[in-house]
A and B are shown apart, each in its own frame.
Chain A
């Protein structure tokens, strides 16, 4: 069974630009969640998509958005990048984030200069 894949693995962007990250969940999983991991703030929940609908959202500004496609693949977009957006962005898939374990991808390391 293939695991969660994320592309790209590394990304360098400039302040003010926008970025789109992609996540392919485990086959059959309808829940995809995104997390930001930084040394200072740790692992923070960005949002969860379930069957193409955003079900939950963490405490992040509107610059962070996402979507999920009918095949459960998900994309996350960050607009008007700030230096503080530099982080490891993790995607996780699950049968249901609320009650089942999540399987994490390797992450996308975003560096904003």
Chain B
């Protein structure tokens, strides 16, 4: 069975600090997809990034970056120079042909 673990339940930082959200996954599949979603206080989940199991290239999008390492089954997310608007719950997710698993989420609070 697939599993996604986000060990950090809550993180609190001060604005402009860098923060990394951890995601560790388990799957027996060789083909799978990993995602990050953001759920702001308004409640609607917003897609951030998708990565397939064959693409280990790291990605940077503005202040956001993602580090995918198959060797450690991790797909970590870093926010550089955090802002108050980054405050939200962030979910890591794993998809295969039969299932879709979300981690428990990490609640990030960025204080001014």
Contacts and interface: CB of A to CB of B under 8 A. Distances in A.
A42 interface: yes
A20 B105 CA distance: 28
A106 B39 CA distance: 11
B44 A106 contact: yes
Top 8 A-B pairs ranked by shortest CB distance?
A43-B102, A104-B45, A101-B47, A45-B100, A42-B104, A101-B50, A106-B44, A56-B98
Majority SS at the chain B contact face? strand
Interface stretch (A69-77, A79-87, A92-100): A92-100
A106 B104 contact: no
B99 A45 contact: yes
30 contacts: A33-B100, A42-B103, A42-B105, A43-B91, A43-B102, A45-B99, A45-B100, A45-B101, A45-B102, A56-B97, A56-B98, A56-B99, A58-B99, A92-B45, A97-B95, A97-B100, A98-B33, A98-B95, A98-B97, A99-B52, A100-B50, A102-B35, A102-B47, A103-B47, A104-B37, A104-B45, A104-B46, A105-B44, A106-B44, A107-B43
B96 interface: yes
Contacts of A45: 99-102
Given A43-B91, A106-B44, A99 B33 contact: yes
Contacts of B47: 101-103
Contact of A90 (B45, B97, B103, B104): B45
Interface residues of A, number: 23
A77 B107 CA distance: 31
A56 B101 CA distance: 12
A97 B95 CA distance: 8
Contacts of A106: 43-44
**Which of B47, B95, B100, B102 counts the most A-chain CB atoms under 10 A from its CB?**
B100
Contacts of B104: 42
Contacts of A103: 47
A17 to B, nearest CB: 25
Nearest to A46: B100
A101 B98 CA distance: 16
